[in-house]
Amino acid sequence: MLEALGLGAPEEAVYMALLAGPAASAQDLAWQTGLEEATSERILRDLTGRGLVAVATDTRASGPAGLEAGPAPVAEPGPAPVAGPTPAPAPEKPGPEAPRPTRYRLTPPSVALAPLLVEQRNALHLAETAYAKLTERYRHTAAHTDGGVVEVVVGAEQVAHRFHQLQCGAQRELLVFLVGEAVAVAREDADSSESSALGRGVDFRVVAAKDYLDGDDVVRDVRESVMAGVAFRLVDSLPLKMVISDRERAMVPLEMTDSGGVPSAVVVHRSGLLTALVHLFEKEWAQARPVFTGTGTLEDPAGDPQPTAEELEVLALLLAGVSDRRAASQLGLSIRTVERRVRRLTDLAGGGSRLQLGWHAARAGWL
């Protein structure tokens, strides 16, 4: 919670432990946080130097009551003592009390943390200003430098890093072609970038080739993406993999298949080439077929029977040109289950061929 203000995990643990009580020593805090006492003491000194913690004033007495030194009593004159047994020696006077450990208390957060917050805000403002200047300078340089239209990226790590930069940097729109299995960017990493983009309100459209659905659990992932807000369509084949960010940059792999070599890609900046890639996406998008719906089954006010979400999944794959056996494999079903769902869909459509089923599905708005 306090990491944004410059406190690490051990410092935050000590700070929060002090927040629970009026004052505590390094030993107390070590016991509460599980840190070494020396570590706790070092952190307290550091927090004190930064003004977040102060030494607590100790108002307790300097020793037990009744042990303060006073004037020696004056002996009264009297008769000489009678000889008798030797008296026991007087008890020793207690020595000085051992020093108490230093105790610390929090400085009020409204006083101590406010300067840190202002400092972080100023640092963020400076970073944003530097980002804007560097971005503008880069665009100016790229626009006036020969060969600045295309940037070559080599190596799996570099390709994955550039891919995440494009997706995480998008503010308005992401356009994606998916073909076959992922090579440089793991699917779970791509899903993470996808969730981040959707959370920012980015318009996310995907066109995938049919072979993309052959991967393990891909159909499930696609269904979850559509439910999250991704517009997903399917075509028989695509000429390339691609991601376009805000129509300002695109990334295309140099090789479409995993040949065992070093993964590489080109990043295309604003140019006629980028415009051509955008037009290619829009052309494929217009011809592609939607798969899955974000709402599952459709409610009909007339009360007519409607297909279930599971039946619509089968229908979407069939209309995309996927065979019954392949659809069964991708959905994790038996071929008989797929055939049974197709028969029910045909009955709902009023009978006829699969071509008529597709026509009825389009007219009824099933997909």
CATH code, residues 156-290: 3.30.870.10
The percent of residues in the chain predicted with pLDDT above 70, rounded, is: 75
Helix (H) or strand (E) holding 328: helix 324-331
Instruction: Compute the mean pLDDT over every residue in the chain, rounded to the nearest whole number.
Output: 77
Q: Is the pLDDT of residue 91 over 70?
A: no
Q: Where in the chain is the domain with CATH 3.30.870.10?
A: 156-290
- Position 298 scores a pLDDT of 31
User: DSSP letter at 308?
Assistant: -
Decide which of 325 and 97 is more confident.
Answer: 325
Looking at residues 306-317, what average pLDDT do you find? 84
Fold classified for 309-364: Arc Repressor Mutant, subunit A (1.10.10)
Looking at residues 118-122, what average pLDDT do you find? 81
Looking at residues 36-56, what average pLDDT do you find? 86
* Euclidean distance between CA atoms 367 and 364, whole angstroms: 8
pLDDT classification of 246: cutoffs 50, 70, 90: very high
Per-residue model confidence as pLDDT tens digits over 7-44: 788 888 888 888 887 788 888 888 888 888 888 889 88
Phi first, then psi, for residue 26 (nearest 5°) are -60, -35
* Euclidean distance between CA atoms 337 and 13, whole angstroms: 56
pTM of the model: 0.48
Handedness of CA 338, 343, 349, 354 (dihedral sign): positive
Question: Residues near 1 by Cβ (< 8 Å), separated by ≥ 6?
Answer: 12
* Euclidean distance between CA atoms 110 and 257, whole angstroms: 59
Architecture category of domain 1-55+103-145 in CATH: Orthogonal Bundle (1.10)
Q: Is the pLDDT of residue 285 over 60?
A: yes
Lowest mean pLDDT among 53-57, 161-165, 192-196, 301-305: 301-305
Strand partners, 150: 268
Q: Is the pLDDT of residue 96 over 70?
A: no
- Position 58 scores a pLDDT of 58
Q: Where in the chain is the domain with CATH 1.10.10.10?
A: 1-55+103-145, 309-364
